[in-house]
Chains A and B, each alone.
Chain A
Amino acid sequence: MENDETLQLFLEEARDHLRDIENDLLSIETETGPSDVDLVNKVFRGIHSIKGAAGFFGLNRIKEISHAMENLLNRIRNFEVIPRRAVVEALLRSADTLSAMVEDPARSESVEISRHLDALTAVQTPTGRAHEKVAVVDSRGIALFEVGADELDVARKGGKNVFLMEFDLVVDIDRHGKTPLEVLKELEKTGLIVEAQLHRDQEGFPVGSVESLPFSVLYATVLDREMVALLTGLDPARVSVVDLPPRRASLKALQQKAHPEATEKPAPPEAKPMPPAQPARIPEPLESASEIVKDAPSEPARGAPQASSTLRVQVKSLDRLMTLAGELVLARNQLIQKVSKRDITEIQASSQGLSMIISELQEAVMATRMQPISIVFGKFQRVVRDMSSVLAKEIRLEVEGEEVELDKAVIEAIGDPLTHLVRNAVDHGVEMPEVRERSGKPRQAVVRLHAYHEAGKVVISVSDNGRGIDTEAVREKAGVLNLVPAQDLSRMSDKELIELIFLPGFSTAKAITEISGRGVGMDVVKTNFTKLGGIIDVESKKGSGTTIRVKLPLTLAIIPSLLVSVRDETYAIPQVNLVELVRISASEVRNRIERIGDALVMRLRGRLLPLAELAEVMGMERAYKDPLTGELRDERRSRLEDRRGPRGKETPEEKERRRGKDRRFHSASAVNIAVVSAGSFQYGLIVDRLHESEEIVVKPLGTHFRSCQCYAGATILGDGRVAPILDVVGITKQRKLSDVGSARDLDEESKARMRARDSQSMLLFHVAGEEQFSIPLALVSRLEVIERSAIENLGGRRSVQYRGGSLPLLDLAEVAKIGALPDLDSYFVVVHAIGGKEVGLLVSQIVDIVESSEDFDESTFRQAGILGSAIFSGKTTLLVDVYEIVRSQLPSWIKATDKDVPSRRILVVDDSPFYRRQISGFLRESGHVVEEACDGREALEILGTSRGIEMVLTDIEMPVMDGLELTRQIRASKTFSHLAVVAVTSLSGEESAKRGKDAGVDGYLVKLDREKILGTVESFLQQRKSSK
Chain B
Amino acid sequence: MIGITTLEGSIRISPTGNVGIDETETLQKALEEAFGAGGGVEVDLSACRSLSSSAIGALIACHNSLRSRGTRLKVSGATEDMRKLLRMMGLDRHFELA
A binds B: yes
- Confirm or deny: B76 has a beta carbon within 8 angstroms of a beta carbon on chain A: no
Report A168-179 CB contacts with B as 1/0, cut-off 8 Å.
011001110101
- Confirm or deny: A902 has a beta carbon within 8 angstroms of a beta carbon on chain B: no
User: Closest Cβ of chain B: how far from A92's Cβ, in Å?
Assistant: 13
Known contacts A184-B85, A204-B68, A174 near B90 by CB under 8 Å: no
- Taking CB atoms and an 8 Å cut-off, the chain B residues in 41-93 that contact chain A are 50-54, 56-58, 60-68, 70, 81-85, 87-93
Among B61, B81, B90, B93, contact of A204 (Cβ-Cβ < 8 Å): B61
User: Closest Cβ of chain B: how far from A188's Cβ, in Å?
Assistant: 9
User: Is there an interface contact between B87 and A266, defined as CB atoms closer than 8 Å?
Assistant: yes
User: Is there an interface contact between B52 and A179, defined as CB atoms closer than 8 Å?
Assistant: yes
User: Is there an interface contact between A209 and B28, defined as CB atoms closer than 8 Å?
Assistant: yes
Known contacts A204-B64, A204-B67, A205-B61, A274 near B88 by CB under 8 Å: yes
- Confirm or deny: A210 has a beta carbon within 8 angstroms of a beta carbon on chain B: yes
Among B61, B66, B90, B94, contact of A197 (Cβ-Cβ < 8 Å): B90
Among B53, B67, B89, B93, contact of A174 (Cβ-Cβ < 8 Å): B53
Give the CA-CA distance A803 to B24 in the complex, in Å. Answer: 102
Known contacts A169-B57, A213-B53, A215-B89, A200 near B32 by CB under 8 Å: no
- Confirm or deny: A181 has a beta carbon within 8 angstroms of a beta carbon on chain B: yes
Contacts of A185 in B (CB 8 A): 81
Give the CA-CA distance A184 to B86 in the complex, in Å. Answer: 11
User: Is there an interface contact between B61 and A202, defined as CB atoms closer than 8 Å?
Assistant: yes
Q: Which interface residue of A22, A181, A209 has the most chain B CB atoms within 10 A?
A: A181
Give the CA-CA distance A184 to B85 in the complex, in Å. Answer: 8
User: Is there an interface contact between B57 and A213, defined as CB atoms closer than 8 Å?
Assistant: yes
Give the CA-CA distance A656 to B57 in the complex, in Å. Answer: 102
User: Is there an interface contact between A275 and B87, defined as CB atoms closer than 8 Å?
Assistant: yes
User: Closest Cβ of chain A: how far from B36's Cβ, in Å?
Assistant: 8
User: Is there an interface contact between A204 and B62, defined as CB atoms closer than 8 Å?
Assistant: yes
Known contacts A205-B35, A205-B61, A209-B25, A179 near B88 by CB under 8 Å: no
Contacts of A205 in B (CB 8 A): 31-32, 35-36, 61-62, 65
Q: Quick one: closest A residue to B19, CB to CB?
A: A179
User: Closest Cβ of chain A: how far from B23's Cβ, in Å?
Assistant: 11
Give the CA-CA distance A182 to B94 in the complex, in Å. Answer: 22
User: Is there an interface contact between B85 and A169, defined as CB atoms closer than 8 Å?
Assistant: no
Give the CA-CA distance A200 to B90 in the complex, in Å. Answer: 9
- Confirm or deny: A539 has a beta carbon within 8 angstroms of a beta carbon on chain B: no
User: Closest Cβ of chain B: how far from A85's Cβ, in Å?
Assistant: 8
- Confirm or deny: B1 has a beta carbon within 8 angstroms of a beta carbon on chain A: no
Give the CA-CA distance A968 to B62 in the complex, in Å. Answer: 70
- Confirm or deny: B7 has a beta carbon within 8 angstroms of a beta carbon on chain A: no
- Confirm or deny: A196 has a beta carbon within 8 angstroms of a beta carbon on chain B: yes
Q: Which interface residue of B52, B82, B93 has the most chain A CB atoms within 10 A?
A: B52
User: Closest Cβ of chain B: how far from A75's Cβ, in Å?
Assistant: 22
User: Closest Cβ of chain B: how far from A183's Cβ, in Å?
Assistant: 9
Contacts of B65 in A (CB 8 A): 204-205
Contacts of B67 in A (CB 8 A): 23, 26, 204
Contacts of A184 in B (CB 8 A): 84-85, 88
- Confirm or deny: A203 has a beta carbon within 8 angstroms of a beta carbon on chain B: yes
User: Closest Cβ of chain B: how far from A22's Cβ, in Å?
Assistant: 8
User: Is there an interface contact between B53 and A173, defined as CB atoms closer than 8 Å?
Assistant: yes
- Confirm or deny: A207 has a beta carbon within 8 angstroms of a beta carbon on chain B: yes
Among B20, B24, B87, contact of A210 (Cβ-Cβ < 8 Å): B24
Contacts of B94 in A (CB 8 A): 200
Known contacts A169-B56, A170-B54, A180 near B85 by CB under 8 Å: yes
Known contacts A31-B93, A205-B32, A169 near B53 by CB under 8 Å: yes
User: Is there an interface contact between B84 and A266, defined as CB atoms closer than 8 Å?
Assistant: yes
User: Is there an interface contact between A269 and B92, defined as CB atoms closer than 8 Å?
Assistant: yes
User: Is there an interface contact between A274 and B93, defined as CB atoms closer than 8 Å?
Assistant: no
- Confirm or deny: A193 has a beta carbon within 8 angstroms of a beta carbon on chain B: yes
Contacts of A31 in B (CB 8 A): 93
Contacts of B21 in A (CB 8 A): 174-175
- Taking CB atoms and an 8 Å cut-off, the chain A residues in 268-284 that contact chain B are 269, 274-275
- Confirm or deny: A618 has a beta carbon within 8 angstroms of a beta carbon on chain B: no
User: Is there an interface contact between A179 and B51, defined as CB atoms closer than 8 Å?
Assistant: yes
Q: Quick one: closest A residue to B97, CB to CB?
A: A269
Enumerate 9 A-B pairs (CB-CB under 8 Å) in ascending A order. A31-B93, A179-B50, A197-B90, A198-B90, A200-B94, A202-B60, A205-B65, A207-B58, A213-B60
Contacts A204-B65, A204-B67 known; 7 new A-B pairs at CB < 8 A: A169-B54, A170-B54, A175-B21, A180-B53, A182-B50, A205-B61, A215-B53
